[in-house]
Amino acid sequence: MPAPHPEFSLAIVGAGPRGTSVLERLTASVDELLPADARLTVHVVDPCPPGAGGVWRTDQAPELLMNTVASQVTLYTDDSVDCAGPVRPGPSLYEWAARHDVPLGPDDYPSRAQYGRYLRQVFAAAVAAAPARVEVVVHATRAV
């Protein structure tokens, strides 16, 4: 009888920008972190929608702005980033807005809701890019 595949589970508590960044780095680096035959289940725990979390909810008033201009905000890596794991480039908030016909200049201060929509896309992209041996399970609840 063949040996079963090793299985690992972990939880990310909080699905805002930090939790989303952790998920992105984890899914990008899983081949370096685990044996080739291992499976991983990532439990993401947050009562708010993943990506935006509670602070960057997409239902906020458009007058509530970030304190950083759109071209300076990204959750993706590129060649300028010194980090462990592979580089996974992706759009800055400004580039994402341009691709989605969101009126936002590179030096504009985005609304919190706009950033929340960007974060939701980053989360979805991290899940979609995860290797087949990684399962992401979202729990819309509080961790206690």
In a domain, 114, yes or no: yes
In a domain, 122, yes or no: yes
Q: What is the number of domains present in the chain?
A: 1
In Å, how far from its chain's centre is CA 22? 7
Q: Provide the pLDDT for residue 1.
A: 66
In a domain, 144, yes or no: no
Domain limits at 128? 7-139
- pLDDT grade, residue 25 (50/70/90)? very high
pLDDT in tens, 83-133: 888 999 999 999 999 999 999 999 999 999 999 999 999 999 999 999 999
In a domain, 121, yes or no: yes
CA angle 141, 129, 84 (to 5 degrees): 90
pLDDT in tens, 65-81: 999 999 999 999 988 88
| Threshold 0.85, pTM exceeds | yes
In a domain, 1, yes or no: no
